[in-house]
Amino acid sequence: MLLILDLVYIAVLKPDWDTLATGRCPKSLPIEDYERARQGNRKLARLRWQPVGLSQMSKRLQQAVVAAEDARFHQHAGVDFAALGDAIAYAKEKGEVGFGASTISQQTIKNLVVGDSRTPWRKWHEMILALWMEQNLSKQRILSLYLNVAELGEGIYGAEAAAQAYWRVSANDLSESQAIEMAATLPSPKKHNPLTRTETFLRRVEKIRGHMNQFGWLDN
């Protein structure tokens, strides 16, 4: 009975897929939260968000983000069950959560629909809706939505805003190195980014570069 009620809840929670597939990229839940927070605290950095189409983002950026966040993005159907199994096995062996297994599709659903509450139910809803979304949206559209709402710094959301903020170029004009650095910013954008250039950030840059080289995605 509880499962049936939850499935009904998911059906109510889901967005209009047709609108999400073709309409303007909507504001994410974190963007809306940031706007509300800034209304009460003007010391926060101004919101930077400028959604653009995937064709207006460099191919290298798209590849770098896939290499960094979801290497099997183009193979799975919304949930990477192999990566999920690895994460569960690691947690059982080490007694701790060592790494996440959320796909780009799941992260997109988290940002646009379910939010970031730390509950098992949220993760379940995220997975179901990610699988459902992949039946209704193309991979290109999902990647576009993700790149347009991902947090990439204090008050910075989306690839175009980040490209302008860090390098004063458009997302379409990012160099290979800049694209990799933007992808390396995703896990902890306020702490590890192209301005702070922490050791963690630089290690991640090299890790992404190595993955892209393995995939044959680098110019050299």
pLDDT at 116: 86
Does residue 137 form part of some domain?
yes
Does residue 9 form part of some domain?
yes
**Residue 99 pLDDT exceeds 80:** no
pLDDT bin (cut points 50, 70, 90) of residue 83 is confident
Give the burial string for 178-189 (b: 16+ CB within 10 Å, else e). Answer: bbbbbbbbbeeb
pLDDT at 173: 98
Does residue 16 form part of some domain?
yes
**Residue 128 pLDDT exceeds 90:** yes
pLDDT at 87: 65
pLDDT in tens, 164-192: 999 999 999 999 999 999 999 999 999 99
Taking the CA of residue 149 as centre, how many other CA atoms within 13 Å lie in the half-sphere pointing to its CB? 27
Tokens of 87: 């994460």
pLDDT at 82: 84
CATH code of 71's domain: 1.10.3810.10
Ramachandran region, residue 214 (left: φ > 0; alpha: ψ -120 to 50; beta: rest): alpha
Does residue 90 form part of some domain?
yes
pLDDT at 179: 98
> What are the phi and psi torsion angles at 181 (to 5°)?
-65, -35
For the chain, the domain total comes to 1
Does residue 69 form part of some domain?
yes
Q: Which of 181, 109, 100, 178 lies closest to 145, judged by CA? A: 109
**Rounded-to-integer distance, Cα 152 and Cα 179, Å:** 12
**Rounded-to-integer distance, Cα 200 and Cα 105, Å:** 25
Does residue 220 form part of some domain?
no
**Residue 199 pLDDT exceeds 70:** yes
Length of the chain: 220
- Please state the rounded mean pLDDT for residues 59-79: 97
pLDDT bin (cut points 50, 70, 90) of residue 91 is low
**Residue 119 pLDDT exceeds 80:** no
List, in sequence order, every beta strand (DSSP E) within 86-163.
151-153, 156-157
Tokens of 85: 């199994």
Does residue 84 form part of some domain?
yes
pTM of the model: 0.91
For residue 182, what are the domain limits? 2-215
- Please state the rounded mean pLDDT for residues 24-48: 95
Tokens of 10: 């998911």
